[in-house]
Amino acid sequence: MSNTQNEITVIAIGGGGFTHETDPDLEDFILAQSPVKHPNIGFIGAASHDSPSRIDLFYRRFLGSAQSPSHLLQSASIQTAKDWVSQQDIIYVGGGDTQHLLNYCRKNQLDHVLAIAANSGTILAGVSAGAVCWYEFALSDAAGNGLKPLPGLGLLPGSCCPHYSSEPERQIAFQRQISNGALPNGIAIDDGVAVLMRSGQLPRFYTAREGLGAYAVEKRASDSISTRISLIE
């Protein structure tokens, strides 16, 4: 299911939310972006290898506040996955192993299926790995050899970095790799913060934690600069 607007809406969360049992306002913000009063919301937990505890947290958070919450297992057939995606108003992708998530999406054609859904009005959302996956590039330590550029699904231009406020080494690496050209200009997101991106609009952020935000990080000569993007009041 989807709305009738022909625009892509993506909500990227830097960290926190229901999978960490924090910041319930983040999920309220996601639900509020749908034109459907009680939207169908689906969870993809591939990044956590379909962790039963995270799936349970998803249902505990959305039962009663969304219409028929459901989840997609990695074992589902390609056709089952396509049918499932078509029934959702919002798709929430959990955090975990970014490389595994991307491999799963590509192997099962979900990269194309999710792009079609987004262009038909389905809201795509996610936290951490589930936030950065939508961009052309992510900063990830998925390979286990330090924070490196990782090609994403490419629904959104540029790069993305989660956990900007809680992992100083990630903040430094993101700025450095943009300044040296290893990553394109991008968005950095603090924990407890959701960035709302809609086609044709500048990104804006909502925060569940006072003082935290999201930033446009851009290459300038041989350095990079970070500029706080606009807050959604």
Angle between helices 52-62 and 24-32 (to 10 degrees): 60
> 199-223: string of b/e by CB count within 10 Å (b at 16+)?
eeeebbbbbbbeebbbbbbbbeeee
- Degrees, nearest 5: CA angle 34-35-38: 75
Type of residue numbered 216: A
163, 165, 179, 224: the catalytic one is 163
Tokens encoding 132: 């950065």
Active site residue 163: yes
Q: Which residues contact 3 (CB under 8 A, 6 or more apart)?
A: 34, 35, 36, 89, 121
Residue carrying the six token digits 């936030």: 131
Please give the backbone phi and psi of residue 111, each rounded to the nearest 5 degrees, phi first.
-60, -45
Residue pair 158/148 in contact by the 8 Å Cβ criterion: no
- How many CA atoms, within 13 angstroms, populate the side-chain half-sphere of residue 206? 19
Phi and psi based region of residue 196 (left: phi greater than 0; alpha: psi -120 to 50; beta: remaining): beta
2, 128, 140, 224: the catalytic one is 128
Catalytically annotated residues: 128, 163
